[in-house]
Structure 1
Amino acid sequence: MNFAVIVFPGSNCDVDMYKAVEDCLGQPVDYVWYTQTDLSKYDVILIPGGFSYGDYLRTGAMASLAPAMESVKKAAAEGKLVLGVCNGFQILTEAGLLPGALRRNQSLKFHCKYVDLKVESNSTPFTLDYQEGEMIKIPIAHGEGNYYCDPETLKKLQENNQIVFRYEGLNPNGSIDEIAGIINEQGNVLGMMPHPERAVHEWLGSEDGKRMFTSILKYWRERNGAA
Protein backbone atom coordinates (compact mmCIF):
# COMPACT_ATOMS: atom_id res chain seq x y z
CA MET A 1 0.00 0.00 0.00
CA ASN A 2 1.59 3.25 -1.13
CA PHE A 3 1.21 6.55 0.73
CA ALA A 4 2.03 10.03 -0.56
CA VAL A 5 2.65 13.00 1.73
CA ILE A 6 2.20 16.19 -0.31
CA VAL A 7 4.75 18.86 0.62
CA PHE A 8 4.01 22.53 -0.07
CA PRO A 9 6.28 25.52 0.62
CA GLY A 10 5.56 26.13 4.30
CA SER A 11 4.39 22.63 5.24
CA ASN A 12 5.71 21.72 8.70
CA CYS A 13 3.84 18.55 9.63
CA ASP A 14 4.97 16.50 6.66
CA VAL A 15 7.60 14.67 8.71
CA ASP A 16 5.05 13.89 11.43
CA MET A 17 2.73 12.38 8.83
CA TYR A 18 5.52 10.41 7.18
CA LYS A 19 6.71 8.99 10.52
CA ALA A 20 3.16 8.08 11.56
CA VAL A 21 2.77 5.89 8.46
CA GLU A 22 6.25 4.45 8.91
CA ASP A 23 5.84 3.73 12.64
CA CYS A 24 2.20 2.59 12.67
CA LEU A 25 1.99 0.65 9.42
CA GLY A 26 5.42 0.01 8.01
CA GLN A 27 4.04 0.68 4.54
CA PRO A 28 5.83 2.49 1.68
CA VAL A 29 5.51 6.26 2.00
CA ASP A 30 7.01 9.08 -0.08
CA TYR A 31 7.30 12.83 0.22
CA VAL A 32 5.75 14.28 -2.92
CA TRP A 33 6.61 17.86 -3.92
CA TYR A 34 3.70 20.19 -4.73
CA THR A 35 4.77 20.38 -8.38
CA GLN A 36 4.22 16.66 -8.96
CA THR A 37 1.40 15.97 -11.43
CA ASP A 38 1.31 12.16 -11.45
CA LEU A 39 0.06 10.48 -8.27
CA SER A 40 -1.14 7.31 -9.97
CA LYS A 41 1.14 4.99 -7.98
CA TYR A 42 -0.34 6.04 -4.64
CA ASP A 43 -3.30 4.48 -2.84
CA VAL A 44 -3.59 7.14 -0.12
CA ILE A 45 -2.75 10.83 -0.33
CA LEU A 46 -1.97 12.71 2.88
CA ILE A 47 -2.07 16.50 2.98
CA PRO A 48 -0.26 17.65 6.12
CA GLY A 49 -0.55 20.67 8.33
CA GLY A 50 1.64 23.75 8.36
CA PHE A 51 1.50 27.16 6.80
CA SER A 52 1.47 26.51 3.07
CA TYR A 53 2.60 29.59 1.16
CA GLY A 54 2.75 31.45 4.47
CA ASP A 55 -1.08 31.43 4.72
CA TYR A 56 -1.18 34.35 2.29
CA LEU A 57 -4.57 35.38 0.85
CA ARG A 58 -6.44 32.75 2.90
CA THR A 59 -5.18 29.62 4.58
CA GLY A 60 -4.90 26.92 1.95
CA ALA A 61 -5.99 29.16 -0.93
CA MET A 62 -2.71 29.25 -2.82
CA ALA A 63 -1.90 25.59 -2.12
CA SER A 64 -5.29 24.57 -3.54
CA LEU A 65 -4.07 25.83 -6.92
CA ALA A 66 -0.74 23.97 -6.86
CA PRO A 67 -0.11 21.48 -9.71
CA ALA A 68 -0.34 18.47 -7.39
CA MET A 69 -3.89 19.33 -6.40
CA GLU A 70 -5.25 18.50 -9.85
CA SER A 71 -3.85 15.01 -9.34
CA VAL A 72 -5.35 14.89 -5.85
CA LYS A 73 -8.75 15.73 -7.31
CA LYS A 74 -8.34 13.00 -9.91
CA ALA A 75 -7.35 10.47 -7.27
CA ALA A 76 -10.34 11.42 -5.14
CA ALA A 77 -12.67 11.02 -8.12
CA GLU A 78 -11.22 7.53 -8.64
CA GLY A 79 -12.11 6.61 -5.06
CA LYS A 80 -8.63 6.74 -3.60
CA LEU A 81 -8.33 7.88 0.01
CA VAL A 82 -7.38 11.48 0.78
CA LEU A 83 -6.72 12.76 4.30
CA GLY A 84 -6.14 16.45 5.00
CA VAL A 85 -5.13 17.53 8.51
CA CYS A 86 -5.17 21.11 9.82
CA ASN A 87 -3.79 23.15 6.89
CA GLY A 88 -4.60 20.07 4.81
CA PHE A 89 -8.25 20.43 5.80
CA GLN A 90 -8.13 24.09 4.82
CA ILE A 91 -6.62 23.15 1.44
CA LEU A 92 -9.34 20.55 0.81
CA THR A 93 -12.10 23.10 1.40
CA GLU A 94 -10.38 25.70 -0.78
CA ALA A 95 -10.00 23.09 -3.53
CA GLY A 96 -13.70 22.22 -3.38
CA LEU A 97 -13.09 18.64 -2.28
CA LEU A 98 -14.94 19.33 0.96
CA PRO A 99 -17.73 21.85 1.68
CA GLY A 100 -17.47 24.83 3.99
CA ALA A 101 -14.55 26.99 5.05
CA LEU A 102 -12.14 27.45 7.95
CA ARG A 103 -12.16 30.88 9.59
CA ARG A 104 -10.11 32.55 12.33
CA ASN A 105 -10.55 31.01 15.75
CA GLN A 106 -13.33 32.74 17.63
CA SER A 107 -10.82 33.87 20.28
CA LEU A 108 -8.54 35.29 17.53
CA LYS A 109 -5.71 33.34 19.20
CA PHE A 110 -3.60 30.39 18.13
CA HIS A 111 -4.43 27.26 20.16
CA CYS A 112 -2.03 24.37 20.74
CA LYS A 113 -3.31 21.73 23.16
CA TYR A 114 -4.88 18.31 23.47
CA VAL A 115 -8.65 18.25 23.00
CA ASP A 116 -11.35 15.66 23.49
CA LEU A 117 -13.05 14.42 20.33
CA LYS A 118 -16.14 12.30 19.93
CA VAL A 119 -16.10 9.76 17.11
CA GLU A 120 -19.45 10.39 15.43
CA SER A 121 -19.03 7.74 12.73
CA ASN A 122 -16.95 4.58 12.58
CA SER A 123 -18.25 3.55 9.16
CA THR A 124 -15.65 5.53 7.20
CA PRO A 125 -12.37 4.11 5.84
CA PHE A 126 -10.57 6.31 8.38
CA THR A 127 -12.45 5.25 11.52
CA LEU A 128 -13.05 1.50 11.24
CA ASP A 129 -10.92 0.76 14.32
CA TYR A 130 -12.83 3.22 16.54
CA GLN A 131 -16.13 2.75 18.31
CA GLU A 132 -19.00 5.06 17.41
CA GLY A 133 -19.45 7.53 20.26
CA GLU A 134 -15.94 6.83 21.57
CA MET A 135 -14.02 9.68 23.19
CA ILE A 136 -10.44 10.17 22.03
CA LYS A 137 -7.67 12.66 22.83
CA ILE A 138 -5.96 14.34 19.86
CA PRO A 139 -3.85 17.55 19.78
CA ILE A 140 -4.69 20.72 17.87
CA ALA A 141 -2.37 23.50 16.69
CA HIS A 142 -4.11 26.16 14.65
CA GLY A 143 -5.21 29.76 14.45
CA GLU A 144 -7.86 29.29 11.76
CA GLY A 145 -9.79 26.15 12.63
CA ASN A 146 -13.25 27.64 13.01
CA TYR A 147 -15.26 25.47 10.62
CA TYR A 148 -18.24 27.22 9.03
CA CYS A 149 -20.84 26.34 6.43
CA ASP A 150 -24.29 27.67 5.56
CA PRO A 151 -27.39 26.12 7.21
CA GLU A 152 -28.30 24.10 4.11
CA THR A 153 -24.84 22.54 3.92
CA LEU A 154 -24.85 21.81 7.65
CA LYS A 155 -28.19 20.04 7.38
CA LYS A 156 -26.83 17.96 4.52
CA LEU A 157 -23.72 17.03 6.50
CA GLN A 158 -25.88 15.97 9.43
CA GLU A 159 -28.36 13.98 7.38
CA ASN A 160 -25.65 12.22 5.35
CA ASN A 161 -23.61 11.31 8.44
CA GLN A 162 -20.65 13.27 7.06
CA ILE A 163 -19.62 14.73 10.42
CA VAL A 164 -16.93 12.30 11.56
CA PHE A 165 -15.52 14.09 14.63
CA ARG A 166 -16.93 16.67 17.03
CA TYR A 167 -15.24 18.57 19.83
CA GLU A 168 -16.49 17.39 23.19
CA GLY A 169 -16.62 19.74 26.16
CA LEU A 170 -14.29 22.46 24.90
CA ASN A 171 -14.83 23.85 21.42
CA PRO A 172 -11.43 25.51 20.95
CA ASN A 173 -12.20 27.54 17.85
CA GLY A 174 -15.96 28.16 17.70
CA SER A 175 -16.67 25.68 14.90
CA ILE A 176 -20.34 25.38 13.95
CA ASP A 177 -22.03 22.33 15.49
CA GLU A 178 -18.75 21.52 17.31
CA ILE A 179 -17.37 20.12 14.03
CA ALA A 180 -13.76 18.91 14.13
CA GLY A 181 -13.74 16.75 11.00
CA ILE A 182 -15.95 15.95 8.01
CA ILE A 183 -15.94 13.58 5.06
CA ASN A 184 -17.16 14.01 1.50
CA GLU A 185 -20.35 12.41 0.20
CA GLN A 186 -18.43 9.57 -1.45
CA GLY A 187 -16.73 8.78 1.86
CA ASN A 188 -13.12 8.79 0.68
CA VAL A 189 -11.94 12.34 1.49
CA LEU A 190 -11.60 13.32 5.16
CA GLY A 191 -10.59 16.70 6.52
CA MET A 192 -9.99 17.40 10.21
CA MET A 193 -8.28 20.10 12.27
CA PRO A 194 -6.84 17.93 15.10
CA HIS A 195 -3.60 16.08 14.36
CA PRO A 196 -3.90 12.26 14.57
CA GLU A 197 -0.32 11.91 13.32
CA ARG A 198 0.86 13.61 16.53
CA ALA A 199 -0.95 11.08 18.70
CA VAL A 200 0.46 7.70 17.68
CA HIS A 201 2.61 6.92 20.76
CA GLU A 202 1.84 7.16 24.47
CA TRP A 203 5.04 9.14 24.97
CA LEU A 204 3.51 11.83 22.75
CA GLY A 205 0.63 12.14 25.23
CA SER A 206 -1.86 9.89 23.41
CA GLU A 207 -1.89 7.07 20.89
CA ASP A 208 -5.55 7.60 19.94
CA GLY A 209 -4.54 8.78 16.47
CA LYS A 210 -2.82 5.50 15.63
CA ARG A 211 -6.11 3.77 14.85
CA MET A 212 -6.83 6.22 12.05
CA PHE A 213 -3.84 4.84 10.19
CA THR A 214 -4.64 1.21 11.03
CA SER A 215 -8.22 1.84 9.84
CA ILE A 216 -6.94 3.05 6.49
CA LEU A 217 -4.81 -0.08 6.09
CA LYS A 218 -7.70 -2.34 7.14
CA TYR A 219 -10.02 -0.70 4.61
CA TRP A 220 -7.48 -1.05 1.81
CA ARG A 221 -6.80 -4.69 2.60
CA GLU A 222 -10.49 -5.56 2.75
CA ARG A 223 -11.16 -3.70 -0.48
CA ASN A 224 -8.27 -5.32 -2.32
CA GLY A 225 -8.47 -8.79 -0.78
CA ALA A 226 -4.99 -8.42 0.67
CA ALA A 227 -3.79 -10.41 3.66
Structure 2
Amino acid sequence: MSAARVGIVTFPGTLDDQDAARAVHLVGAEPVPLWHADHDLKGVDAVFLPGGFSYGDYLRCGAISRFAPLMEELIPAARAGLPVLGTCNGFQILCEAHLLPGALTRNASLHYVCRDQRVRIEQASTAWTSSFTPGQEITLPVKHGEGRYVASTETLAELEADGRVVVRYVDGNPNGSMNDIAGIRNEAGNVVGLMPHPEHAVEELVGAPSTDGRGFFTSILQKLVNA
Protein backbone atom coordinates (compact mmCIF):
# COMPACT_ATOMS: atom_id res chain seq x y z
CA MET A 1 0.00 0.00 0.00
CA SER A 2 2.88 2.36 0.67
CA ALA A 3 3.57 2.46 -3.08
CA ALA A 4 0.43 4.58 -3.66
CA ARG A 5 1.63 8.18 -4.06
CA VAL A 6 -0.75 11.14 -3.76
CA GLY A 7 0.52 14.58 -4.74
CA ILE A 8 -0.47 17.51 -2.52
CA VAL A 9 -0.32 20.85 -4.35
CA THR A 10 0.78 24.01 -2.54
CA PHE A 11 0.04 27.43 -4.03
CA PRO A 12 0.91 30.76 -2.36
CA GLY A 13 -1.87 31.11 0.19
CA THR A 14 -2.74 27.41 0.46
CA LEU A 15 -3.70 26.57 4.05
CA ASP A 16 -4.66 22.91 4.15
CA ASP A 17 -1.78 21.15 2.41
CA GLN A 18 -0.34 19.74 5.63
CA ASP A 19 -3.76 18.54 6.76
CA ALA A 20 -4.20 16.81 3.40
CA ALA A 21 -0.76 15.24 3.62
CA ARG A 22 -1.54 13.89 7.08
CA ALA A 23 -4.84 12.44 5.90
CA VAL A 24 -3.08 10.67 3.02
CA HIS A 25 -0.44 9.34 5.40
CA LEU A 26 -3.02 8.11 7.92
CA VAL A 27 -4.64 5.76 5.40
CA GLY A 28 -1.31 4.27 4.38
CA ALA A 29 -0.47 6.17 1.19
CA GLU A 30 2.54 8.40 0.57
CA PRO A 31 1.93 12.17 0.37
CA VAL A 32 4.15 13.87 -2.21
CA PRO A 33 4.57 17.68 -2.03
CA LEU A 34 3.95 19.45 -5.35
CA TRP A 35 4.93 23.11 -5.69
CA HIS A 36 2.82 25.44 -7.85
CA ALA A 37 5.81 26.81 -9.78
CA ASP A 38 7.15 23.43 -10.88
CA HIS A 39 6.45 21.61 -14.13
CA ASP A 40 6.74 18.14 -12.61
CA LEU A 41 4.00 15.94 -11.16
CA LYS A 42 6.73 13.61 -9.86
CA GLY A 43 5.00 10.55 -11.19
CA VAL A 44 2.23 10.61 -8.58
CA ASP A 45 -0.77 8.31 -8.86
CA ALA A 46 -3.33 10.94 -7.80
CA VAL A 47 -3.45 14.63 -6.88
CA PHE A 48 -5.15 16.56 -4.09
CA LEU A 49 -5.80 20.32 -4.44
CA PRO A 50 -6.27 21.65 -0.88
CA GLY A 51 -8.19 24.61 0.43
CA GLY A 52 -6.95 28.06 1.33
CA PHE A 53 -6.71 31.41 -0.42
CA SER A 54 -4.39 30.73 -3.33
CA TYR A 55 -2.76 33.90 -4.67
CA GLY A 56 -4.85 35.85 -2.16
CA ASP A 57 -8.06 35.06 -4.09
CA TYR A 58 -7.29 38.02 -6.36
CA LEU A 59 -9.49 38.41 -9.45
CA ARG A 60 -11.64 35.39 -8.47
CA CYS A 61 -11.00 32.45 -6.19
CA GLY A 62 -8.75 30.07 -8.10
CA ALA A 63 -8.51 32.30 -11.19
CA ILE A 64 -4.74 32.85 -10.96
CA SER A 65 -3.97 29.33 -9.75
CA ARG A 66 -5.47 27.98 -12.93
CA PHE A 67 -2.44 29.42 -14.79
CA ALA A 68 0.24 28.13 -12.40
CA PRO A 69 3.05 26.19 -14.13
CA LEU A 70 2.08 22.98 -12.34
CA MET A 71 -1.45 23.24 -13.75
CA GLU A 72 0.01 23.03 -17.25
CA GLU A 73 0.93 19.47 -16.32
CA LEU A 74 -2.07 18.67 -14.16
CA ILE A 75 -4.84 19.70 -16.56
CA PRO A 76 -3.87 17.31 -19.39
CA ALA A 77 -3.06 14.57 -16.88
CA ALA A 78 -6.54 14.91 -15.34
CA ARG A 79 -8.15 14.81 -18.77
CA ALA A 80 -6.16 11.64 -19.44
CA GLY A 81 -7.55 9.96 -16.33
CA LEU A 82 -5.36 10.96 -13.37
CA PRO A 83 -7.52 10.97 -10.20
CA VAL A 84 -7.82 14.52 -8.83
CA LEU A 85 -9.70 15.80 -5.78
CA GLY A 86 -10.13 19.49 -5.03
CA THR A 87 -11.67 20.73 -1.79
CA CYS A 88 -12.86 24.30 -1.15
CA ASN A 89 -10.28 26.47 -2.96
CA GLY A 90 -9.24 23.32 -4.82
CA PHE A 91 -12.82 22.96 -6.10
CA GLN A 92 -12.75 26.59 -7.21
CA ILE A 93 -9.49 25.97 -9.07
CA LEU A 94 -10.90 22.91 -10.84
CA CYS A 95 -13.85 24.98 -12.06
CA GLU A 96 -11.58 27.82 -13.20
CA ALA A 97 -9.45 25.27 -15.07
CA HIS A 98 -12.61 23.92 -16.76
CA LEU A 99 -11.96 20.44 -15.42
CA LEU A 100 -15.38 20.77 -13.76
CA PRO A 101 -18.37 22.82 -14.96
CA GLY A 102 -19.97 25.75 -13.17
CA ALA A 103 -18.48 28.19 -10.69
CA LEU A 104 -18.26 28.96 -6.97
CA THR A 105 -19.57 32.42 -6.03
CA ARG A 106 -20.20 34.49 -2.90
CA ASN A 107 -22.30 32.77 -0.26
CA ALA A 108 -25.94 33.79 -0.56
CA SER A 109 -25.74 35.20 2.96
CA LEU A 110 -22.68 37.29 2.01
CA HIS A 111 -21.12 35.95 5.23
CA TYR A 112 -18.21 33.59 5.78
CA VAL A 113 -19.50 30.23 7.04
CA CYS A 114 -17.53 27.92 9.34
CA ARG A 115 -19.39 24.94 10.80
CA ASP A 116 -19.82 21.19 10.78
CA GLN A 117 -22.15 20.34 7.92
CA ARG A 118 -24.23 17.26 7.24
CA VAL A 119 -23.92 16.02 3.66
CA ARG A 120 -25.19 13.03 1.69
CA ILE A 121 -23.01 10.90 -0.59
CA GLU A 122 -24.94 10.72 -3.84
CA GLN A 123 -22.36 8.83 -5.90
CA ALA A 124 -20.03 6.12 -4.61
CA SER A 125 -18.71 5.21 -8.05
CA THR A 126 -15.90 7.78 -8.24
CA ALA A 127 -12.23 7.20 -7.46
CA TRP A 128 -12.69 9.28 -4.30
CA THR A 129 -15.99 7.98 -2.89
CA SER A 130 -15.99 4.20 -3.37
CA SER A 131 -15.62 3.59 0.39
CA PHE A 132 -19.07 5.09 0.94
CA THR A 133 -22.53 3.82 0.03
CA PRO A 134 -25.00 5.88 -2.02
CA GLY A 135 -27.27 7.80 0.32
CA GLN A 136 -24.85 7.62 3.24
CA GLU A 137 -24.89 10.77 5.36
CA ILE A 138 -21.72 12.07 6.96
CA THR A 139 -20.57 15.26 8.69
CA LEU A 140 -17.72 17.36 7.30
CA PRO A 141 -16.44 20.84 8.19
CA VAL A 142 -17.13 23.74 5.84
CA LYS A 143 -15.25 27.05 5.98
CA HIS A 144 -15.69 29.42 3.08
CA GLY A 145 -17.05 32.74 1.94
CA GLU A 146 -17.41 31.86 -1.74
CA GLY A 147 -18.86 28.37 -1.86
CA ARG A 148 -22.19 28.86 -3.61
CA TYR A 149 -22.20 26.49 -6.58
CA VAL A 150 -23.89 27.97 -9.66
CA ALA A 151 -24.31 26.70 -13.20
CA SER A 152 -26.62 27.16 -16.15
CA THR A 153 -29.97 25.41 -16.22
CA GLU A 154 -28.65 23.11 -18.93
CA THR A 155 -25.52 22.20 -16.95
CA LEU A 156 -27.52 21.50 -13.79
CA ALA A 157 -29.89 19.25 -15.72
CA GLU A 158 -26.94 17.40 -17.24
CA LEU A 159 -25.23 16.92 -13.87
CA GLU A 160 -28.40 15.55 -12.32
CA ALA A 161 -29.31 13.32 -15.27
CA ASP A 162 -25.81 11.84 -15.54
CA GLY A 163 -25.40 11.23 -11.81
CA ARG A 164 -22.52 13.68 -11.55
CA VAL A 165 -23.63 15.28 -8.27
CA VAL A 166 -21.35 13.47 -5.83
CA VAL A 167 -22.16 15.18 -2.51
CA ARG A 168 -25.25 17.16 -1.51
CA TYR A 169 -25.97 19.34 1.52
CA VAL A 170 -28.65 18.12 3.95
CA ASP A 171 -30.05 19.70 7.12
CA GLY A 172 -29.42 23.20 5.77
CA ASN A 173 -27.57 24.68 2.81
CA PRO A 174 -24.63 26.75 4.14
CA ASN A 175 -24.09 28.90 1.06
CA GLY A 176 -27.15 28.79 -1.21
CA SER A 177 -25.67 26.37 -3.74
CA MET A 178 -28.04 25.45 -6.55
CA ASN A 179 -29.73 22.06 -6.00
CA ASP A 180 -27.94 21.88 -2.63
CA ILE A 181 -24.82 20.77 -4.51
CA ALA A 182 -21.74 20.32 -2.30
CA GLY A 183 -19.61 18.39 -4.78
CA ILE A 184 -19.55 17.18 -8.38
CA ARG A 185 -17.47 15.02 -10.69
CA ASN A 186 -16.38 15.15 -14.30
CA GLU A 187 -17.84 12.81 -16.92
CA ALA A 188 -15.14 10.17 -16.39
CA GLY A 189 -15.45 10.26 -12.60
CA ASN A 190 -11.73 10.72 -11.92
CA VAL A 191 -11.99 14.44 -11.08
CA VAL A 192 -14.07 15.42 -8.04
CA GLY A 193 -14.54 18.81 -6.42
CA LEU A 194 -16.35 19.60 -3.17
CA MET A 195 -16.58 22.54 -0.79
CA PRO A 196 -16.50 20.63 2.53
CA HIS A 197 -13.15 19.53 3.99
CA PRO A 198 -12.74 15.76 4.42
CA GLU A 199 -9.07 16.29 5.32
CA HIS A 200 -10.24 17.94 8.56
CA ALA A 201 -12.32 14.93 9.56
CA VAL A 202 -9.90 12.01 9.67
CA GLU A 203 -8.87 11.74 13.33
CA GLU A 204 -10.86 11.07 16.47
CA LEU A 205 -8.49 13.44 18.28
CA VAL A 206 -10.28 16.47 16.84
CA GLY A 207 -13.68 15.29 18.06
CA ALA A 208 -16.84 15.71 16.02
CA PRO A 209 -17.19 15.06 13.14
CA SER A 210 -14.54 12.48 13.97
CA THR A 211 -13.39 10.36 11.02
CA ASP A 212 -16.22 10.85 8.52
CA GLY A 213 -13.85 12.32 5.95
CA ARG A 214 -11.42 9.41 5.95
CA GLY A 215 -13.48 7.55 3.35
CA PHE A 216 -12.33 9.92 0.61
CA PHE A 217 -8.74 8.89 1.27
CA THR A 218 -9.34 5.17 1.76
CA SER A 219 -11.28 5.27 -1.53
CA ILE A 220 -8.37 6.57 -3.55
CA LEU A 221 -5.94 4.24 -1.80
CA GLN A 222 -8.08 1.22 -2.71
CA LYS A 223 -8.39 2.50 -6.26
CA LEU A 224 -4.63 2.83 -6.64
CA VAL A 225 -3.75 -0.44 -4.93
CA ASN A 226 -6.24 -2.39 -7.03
CA ALA A 227 -5.35 -0.67 -10.31
Instruction: Report the TM-score when normalising by structure 1.
Output: 0.96
Deviation by residue 1:56-81 (Cα, 9 ceiling, x = unmatched): 00000001111111111121122110
Partner of 1:20: 23
Partner of 1:163: 165
Which stretches of structure 1, 4 residues or more, deviate above 2 A after TM superposition? none
User: Letter of the aligned partner of 2:155 in structure 1?
Assistant: T
Partner of 2:152: 150
C-alpha distance in structure 1 between counterparts of 2:77 and 2:118, whole Å? 31
1:40, CA displacement in angstroms?
5.0
C-alpha distance in structure 2 between counterparts of 1:11 and 1:211, whole Å? 23
- Structure 2 segments unaligned to the other structure (5+ residues): none
User: Letter of the aligned partner of 1:150 in structure 2?
Assistant: S
- Structure 1 segments unaligned to the other structure (5+ residues): none
Identity %, equivalent residues:
47
Correspondence for 1:191 among 187, 190, 193: 193
Kindly indicate whether the alpha-carbon contact (under 8 Å) linking 2:82 and 2:190 is maintained by their aligned counterparts in 1. Answer: yes
Partner of 1:29: 31
Partner of 1:208: 212
How many positions carry a matched residue from both structures?
Answer: 222
Kindly indicate whether the alpha-carbon contact (under 8 Å) linking 1:39 and 1:75 is maintained by their aligned counterparts in 2. Answer: no
C-alpha distance in structure 2 between counterparts of 1:200 and 1:98, whole Å? 26
Counterparts in 2 of 1:65-84, with a 5 A limit? 65-84=67-86
The alignment status of 1:105 with 2:107, answered yes or no, reads yes
Q: Match of 2:226, SS? A: helix
Kindly indicate whether the alpha-carbon contact (under 8 Å) linking 2:27 and 2:221 is maintained by their aligned counterparts in 1. Answer: no
C-alpha distance in structure 2 between counterparts of 1:55 and 1:177, whole Å? 25
Kindly indicate whether the alpha-carbon contact (under 8 Å) linking 1:40 and 1:75 is maintained by their aligned counterparts in 2. Answer: no
